[in-house]
Amino acid sequence: MKSNKALPLLFTVMFLVMVGFGIIIPVMPFYAETMGASPTQLGLLMAVYSLMQFLFAPMWGKISDRIGRKPVIMIGIFGLSLSFFLMALSTELWMLFVARIIGGFLSSANMPTVMAYVADVTSEEDRGKGMGIIGASVGLGFIFGPAIGGIFSNQSLNLPFYLAGASSLLTFLLVTLLLKESLTPEERGTQARERLSLLKALKEPVSILFILQLFVSFSLSGLEATFAYYAYEKAQLGSRELGYIFMIMGFAGALVQGGLVGRLTKRFREGIVIQIGTLISMVGFALILFIDSFVTAAIFLTIFGVGNGFIRPSVSSLLTKTSQAGHGSTTGVLSSFDSLGRILGPPVGGLLFSLSIGLPYISGIIFSIIAFLLYRVYSTKRMKTVQP
């Protein structure tokens, strides 16, 4: 019998992890500049973390199938804490790069293993709800983290890194003392038998869902990379207004993931929710082309955020139900595709913006349509394989 009693604790853990991660976001560019970082080097400093996530998330997912979820989550959170303290102590740019590489390598264990844990402790009927709760915790953490980092950066540029390290260390202790292992020794043996690599994933029937998530992540990160410039050009919005807009969007996405996703997937199943999400995202991208004020920017970006909030937890839920591989292996590969989208999205979005300021959002419309059609292809193939 599945029990989801661990979900509130997992929500707290991922919220604190993302608060710690978010704390350093507003201060990182200025901190790196004090060590002589050029804009290109700053971009590489941000990208190397996602690169490590792309390369190593599948590995940690497989390891969690073999040795259990709790030790891998502990490794990921401790690694994140270590990287924050190393960044706080850095005096040279290369030291920041080393800290980011270590952090990306070890913390890539967090998301896939937590999602696998959710899949372990929830029934298929409640899987979407569990994934949505984790998505909501991530969204809320990203709201509060940057706000805290911005406040304390006025005291000292490296103080936010110490705070992020302390927050992650507290989370590590919380996991150590309170979180119970979700896999029995017998289940670890079963989950470890079927492993999924990046190359193997592309040959599996569920590969379409991984590619769908890649497109969603790609278009989202392209928007995030260019929206500040776009909003200034279209409505003369500054950093303060953008902060409020992204906060509103984040709260809306968290509410959708924490409340609506579970109910909708339970009633209509994940496929319908994924399609709804892609269509709402498409509408959001289209509306962004018409922003002319703070109010329209907040409303239109929130519509996009709501659509995006439907997709990731529903894809995660559906994959853990349909993939033949272990939950950790499956969610690890999903995290890897998500990270690949975050690596490729910003530079491509920036290039499109340099050609025409509306192109990143027009491409977002196109990618949302592609994501919708990809699910339709997956659904058709799935129906053919289950027919006698």
**What is the distance in angstroms between the CA of the first residue and the CA of the last residue of the chain?**
30
Mean pLDDT of the residues in the chain: 89
Measured at the alpha carbon of residue 345, what is the angle toward residues 45 and 332, in degrees to the nearest 5? 80
- Common-topology check for domains 1-193 and 194-388: yes
Cα–Cα distance for residue pair 136/218, rounded to 1 Å:
20
pTM score over 0.75: yes
Checking if the pLDDT of 24 tops 80, the result is yes
State yes or no: pLDDT of 67 exceeds 70: yes
State the Cα torsion 37-38-42-45 to the nearest 10°.
-60
pLDDT tens for each residue of 105-138: 999 999 999 999 999 999 888 899 999 999 999 9
Mean pLDDT of 237-243: 82
CATH 1.10.287.180 for domain 1-193: no
Domain ranges of the chain: 1-193, 194-388
CATH top-level class of 194-388: mainly alpha
Per the model's pLDDT, the better-predicted residue between 196 and 210 turns out to be 210
pLDDT of residue 1: 44
Amino acid identity of 326? G
Residues 6+ apart with CB under 8 A from 107: 53, 76, 77, 79, 80, 83
What b-and-e string marks burial along 278-296, b requiring 16 or more CB atoms within 10 Å of the CB? Answer: bbbbbbbbbbbeebeebee
Q: Average the pLDDT over 28-36 and give the result.
A: 88
* 3-class DSSP state of 324: coil
